[in-house]
Structure 1
Amino acid sequence: MAYRDDPDLAFLGTLNSEELNDLVYLIIHDKDGERRWTETLTVNEKYKRYAPNHSKYWQEIAEEIQHFGGNTFINIFRNAGVPYKEILCDVCDKLKVNYHKYASTKQIEQNLLMKILQQALEEMSPSQLKTLATEIGLDNISIPSAQAMTSIFLAIFRAGGFKSYQITVIIANAVLKTLIGRGLSFASNTLLTRTAAILTGPIGWAITALWTLIDIAGPAYRVTIPAVIQVIYLRSLSENRTEIEKINQIDISKINL
Structure 2
Amino acid sequence: MQELFEGFQAEDFAFIAGLLESRVNFSDDRELKRLLDASSEDTTNADKRDDLIAKMRDEIRYAGSSDLAYFYRWMRGGTPGVPVKQVFKDVSSQLDIPVDSVLTEREMVAHIAREYAEREFASLPDDDKIQMLEQLGVASEKATEFVKRSAGVYTIPVLIKTFSVVVVDGLIKRVLFGTIARIIGKAVADRLFALLLTRIPWWVGWIGPAAWTASLSWTAVDVAGPAYRKTIPITLYLGLNSISLDSDSVESPK
TM-score, normalised with respect to structure 2: 0.66
2:100 is the counterpart of 1:100: yes
2:249 is the counterpart of 1:243: yes
1:155 corresponds in structure 2 to: 158
Structure 1 alignment gaps of length 5 or more: 1-5, 30-34, 252-257
Q: State the structure with bigger RCO (CA 8 A, min sep 6), 1 or 2.
A: 2
Tell me how far 1:165 sits from its aligned partner: 3.5
2:62 is the counterpart of 1:67: yes
- CA change 1:111–1:68 in 2 (3 A) is closer
2:30 is the counterpart of 1:37: no
Q: What amino acid does structure 2 have at the position aligned with 1:144?
A: V
Distance in 2 (CA, whole Å) between partners of 1:45 and 1:202 is 32
2:216 is the counterpart of 1:204: yes
2:76 corresponds in structure 1 to: none
SS in 2 for 1:15: coil
SS in 2 for 1:102: coil
Contact persistence 2:205–2:211 (CA under 8 A): no
Name which of structure 1's ranges 91-100 and 139-148 shifts more when overlaid on structure 2: 139-148
1:122 corresponds in structure 2 to: 123
- CA change 1:40–1:146 in 2 (3 A) is farther
Tell me how far 1:19 sits from its aligned partner: 2.7
Q: What amino acid does structure 2 have at the position aligned with 1:95?
A: L
Name which of structure 1's ranges 75-84 and 57-66 shifts more when overlaid on structure 2: 75-84
Distance in 2 (CA, whole Å) between partners of 1:194 and 1:80 is 37
Q: What amino acid does structure 1 have at the position aligned with 2:227?
A: A
Tell me how far 1:91 sits from its aligned partner: 0.4
1:254 corresponds in structure 2 to: none
Residue number among 190, 193, 205 corresponding to 1:193 in the alignment: 205
Contact persistence 1:16–1:54 (CA under 8 A): no
Contact persistence 2:177–2:207 (CA under 8 A): no
Tell me how far 1:127 sits from its aligned partner: 2.5
Residue number among 53, 58, 61 corresponding to 1:58 in the alignment: 53
Matches within 5 A, 1:150-189: 151-153=154-156, 155-156=158-159, 162-181=166-185, 182=189, 184-185=193-194, 186-187=196-197, 188-189=200-201
Distance in 2 (CA, whole Å) between partners of 1:42 and 1:18 is 17
Tell me how far 1:170 sits from its aligned partner: 2.0
Contact persistence 2:64–2:231 (CA under 8 A): yes
- CA change 1:114–1:202 in 2 (3 A) is farther
SS in 1 for 2:97: coil
Percent of aligned pairs with the same amino acid: 12
Tell me how far 1:51 sits from its aligned partner: 7.6
- CA change 1:87–1:195 in 2 (3 A) is closer
Tell me how far 1:27 sits from its aligned partner: 0.9
Q: What amino acid does structure 2 have at the position aligned with 1:155?
A: V
Structure 2 alignment gaps of length 5 or more: 74-78
Contact persistence 2:65–2:81 (CA under 8 A): yes
Name which of structure 1's ranges 140-149 and 86-95 shifts more when overlaid on structure 2: 140-149
Contact persistence 1:95–1:210 (CA under 8 A): yes
